[in-house]
Structure 1
């Protein structure tokens, strides 16, 4: 499950960063924030799993 979560975060991050360079203004800002938010969620899940162990 954690490997799938990391893989999804990587793919979404790559797609967002490729789109980032094609967008202008605020849409590029929000598109650049998506991978950062997704990575924060992945870290939160990892911390939750580690705390539960």
Structure 2
């Protein structure tokens, strides 16, 4: 859902920043659960209502 290619295509989020955020979350350096969930929700909403997928 938050792949680099889908982030580039949508243009809402900086792909390298999102990737870094996810890496830091997985390494337990930060807790970005809410941010990641929020970005995923926005992407899924866009797919369903804007892209009709």
Class of the TM-score when normalised by the shorter of the 2 chains: 0.3 to 0.5
- The answer to which structure, 1 or 2, has the higher relative contact order (CA under 8 A, 6+ apart) is 1
Task: Give the number of the structure whose alpha-carbon radius of gyration is greater.
Answer: 1
